[in-house]
Amino acid sequence: MHEFSIACEIFEQVMTTAKEHGATEVKHVTLQMGRLSHTNPEQLSFCFKVLSEESIAENADFIVEMIPPSLECECGYTGTVDEEKIRENCEFKSELLAYAAVMECPICGKPAQITGGRELIIKSIEIETEDQN
Amino acid sequence: MLMHVIDMGHDVYKANDKVAEKNKKKLDKYQVFSVNVMGAIGSGKTTLIEEVIRQLKDKYKIAVIAGDVIAEMDSSRFRKLDVPTIPVNTGKECHLDAKLVEKALDEIDLNNTDLLLIENVGNLICPVDFKLGEHLRVVIVSVTEGDDIILKHPMIFKTSDLAVINKVDIAHAVDVDAEKMRDDILSLNPNVPVILTSKHDWESLETWISFIELGVKESQNR
């Protein structure tokens, strides 16, 4: 399970940034996760919770924002995958497969390059500091 | 008490990608062609790597990084073939990452290496998200995994440069159509070369080995 090692990296980065800013508590951690990343938001949140026990991030809300895949085609098209189309496409049982299968250019129909949707970004943290900071 | 929102914008995977880029530059400097061999447990990664070593070790200098969760069975198999082998035990992790490879590269005499074979930890999911600095990403899948294995794991087939369907000699016995597996791979990634192999079919192994050799030659001509 690679969520644990990723949670370790997130925890380390969050704590470093929080301390640099004189935080007394971390209230929120907001992540952006590409839908094509093989990371499970619930498992990641659980691992972060375990790691942050007895730290200033112990009670932090772990918020995950999902990012749709984006495509680039040799015909010049760039854009994100149509999420409506994915939801309508009920023949695919898994969301990941649904995304992988529709990665063709909506203009010319050729297979497009995936340019986004595999990210895992620590977007921001909300922290509490003493008044003098 | 004051509340602050701090923008971070730290991409965990990009942090790995940066180390991978560094690894690749280092390998390029020494003209080493590197192959990341991915695939499930039992797909035949070790056997196919052994065949590459047996057939190419007199022509090229080969080194191996053998990734495994704990044991060193695979690395001892490579050592028996007299090639420098670095075992990388990930402990609890299900994939190799660029930092582990960076560390292993320090233990390899790159001046005396033409081909670096990296056997990833056996699974079709986690290795996808972690680049290592490799020149060629290979996914090996065997017919024994069932002919729906490809559509169950689309991303590894979309992101690999070469796909190998192995153990095709026993496809009938396990009631699997290897051609369906090939079609599924091509439906996900129309441009990826697909090779069907069996350790009992020398011609198929030659195709696999020549694909690797081509990469080594190109690397040396760069």
pLDDT-derived band at A89 (thresholds 50, 70, 90) equals: low
Contact check, Cβ <8 Å, A119/B129:
no
Tokens of A14: 């969050």
CA distance B38 to chain A (A): 15
pTM: 0.85
Residues from chain B that touch A22, judged by Cβ atoms under 8 A, are none
Most confident range (mean pLDDT) of A92-96, A99-103, A106-110, B180-184 is B180-184
Residue contact A21–B13, C-beta within 8 A:
no
CA closest to B123 among chain A residues: A1
State both tokens at B39: 């695939």
B175 interface with A at CB cutoff 8 Å: no
Ligand-binding site membership of A75 (annotated): yes
Q: Which residues of B touch A96 (CB under 8 A)?
A: 154-155
Q: Tell me the DSSP string of B105-127.
A: HTTS-GGG-SEEEEE--SBSSGG
* A-B contacts (CB, under 8 Å): 98
Query: Quick one: tokens of A78?
Result: 């760039």
ipTM for the assembly:
0.81
Q: Is A102 on the interface with B (CB under 8 A)?
A: no
Q: Is residue A38 within 8 angstroms of chain B, CB to CB?
A: yes
At A36, list the tokens. Answer: 């094509």
Tell whether A2 is within 8 A of chain B (Cβ).
yes
Confidence of residue A133 (pLDDT cuts 50, 70, 90): very low
Chain A nearest C-alpha distance from B189 (Å): 8
Q: What's the rounded mean pLDDT across residues B140-144?
A: 97
List the one residue out of B150, B145, B141, B140 whose CA is nearest residue B211. Answer: B140
State pLDDT tens for residues B54-73: 999 999 999 999 987 766 77
Write the pLDDT tens digit of every residue in A111-123: 788 888 889 999 9
Q: Is B91 on the interface with A (CB under 8 A)?
A: no
Q: Report residue A9 as tokens.
A: 């990296």
Burial, A48: exposed, middle or buried (Cβ in 10 Å; 0-12, 13-18, 19+)? buried
Mutate to test the interface with A, among B1, B8, B156, B185 (most CBs of A within 10 A): B8
Q: So what's the pLDDT on residue A94?
A: 52
The reported pLDDT for the residue numbered A87 is 60
Q: How many CB atoms neighbour CB A5 within 10 A?
A: 20
Mean pLDDT calculated for residue range B218-222: 87
Give the pLDDT confidence score for residue A11 in this predicted structure: 96
Chain B CB within 8 Å of residue A24 CB = yes
Q: Give the domains, in start order, of chain A with CATH numbers.
A: 2-68+117-132 (3.30.2320.50), 70-115 (no CATH)
Q: Which residues of A103-114 are buried (b: 16+ CB within 10 A; e: fewer)?
A: bebeeeeebbeb
Residues of B in contact with A129 (CB under 8 A): 1-2, 4
